[in-house]
Amino acid sequence: MADNITTPVPDGKVLALKEIGGILFALNLIADAAGVDAMGLVAANPAAYTMLGRLKTIADGVLAATPAGENYMGKIGGDVLLSAPAAPPTVSASAYAAGQVIGTKFTLPNAARVAAGAGLIQAASLLSKTATTAAIDMIIFSADPTASTLTDKTAPTIAAADIDKIVGVIHLTDWSALGAAALAQNLAVGLPFRLPAGTSLYAVLIARAAITPGSTADLLPAVRIIPG
């Protein structure tokens, strides 16, 4: 019995087989017309629906970079993002009354993994370089409240155009004395958000009791976020 049998496959290809004990076993999956193994042939653009073409399609999909977006490869565990302004918000080193804006609004960058993303504010903190126990609120916005008046040492005025940007209010009342400094933490915020654009949240501090910062860079706010 002949070792090679020509079968009706296109492009002059044959299946190469070997007779062993009266049974034909395939030596390779595809051979050329001369019976030479064709599996190792190099083809930059193999024809569609051929074996090489299908293998190239699979390889292209595996090697392609995962595009930016909410989709990502499987992952074990989770992330908690720390978002804080690049520099401490500038405040006044003098007394604030309850109800006044402390400093000015600030940006919380990289709050979402992608533009127009979502997340959950898990916790928030405020480090004061000067000892204090004054209650402070942190108002969170999903976008820059450009129409509102948030001026240092005045009562906040939230414009109608910015009302829908309010994500929520985080109360910072649990202070721990750290020598000459103090740290306020709220570890059970649980505040979900979705951004209309970009990856940043915006915030402002409001005094709920009298407080006197020790310097213009006295307060360091931060939030910890579970990304959506």
Q: Which of 85, 43, 35, 97 minimizes the C-alpha distance to 202?
A: 85
pLDDT at 47: 72
CA distance 212 to 183: 15
**CATH assignment of 81-227, among 2.60.120, 3.40.50, 3.30.70, 1.10.10:** 2.60.120
Instruction: Return the exposure string of 143-175: e unless at least 16 CB atoms fall within 10 Å of the residue's CB, then b.
Output: bebeebebeeeeebebeeebeebebeebebeeb
Q: Is the pLDDT of residue 13 over 60?
A: no
Whole-angstrom distance, CA of residue 91 vs CA of residue 82: 22
pLDDT single digits (tens) 159-196? 999 999 999 999 999 999 999 999 999 999 999 999 99
Delimit the domains of the chain by residue range.
Answer: 4-63, 81-227
Confidence of residue 48 (pLDDT cuts 50, 70, 90): confident
Residue type, 140: I
Q: Give per-residue pLDDT as tens, 77-132.
A: 568 999 999 999 999 999 999 999 999 999 999 999 999 999 999 999 999 999 99
Name the E strands within the chain: 4-5, 15-20, 23-26, 81-83, 101-108, 118-128, 136-141, 166-172, 175-178, 181-186, 191-194, 201-207, 219-227
User: Are the C-beta atoms of residues 205 and 94 closer than 8 Å to each other?
Assistant: no
Overall pTM surpassing 0.75 (yes/no):
no
Radius of gyration of the chain (CA): 32
Name the token pair of 16.
């190469």
Give dist(CA 224, CA 20) in Å, integer.
Answer: 69
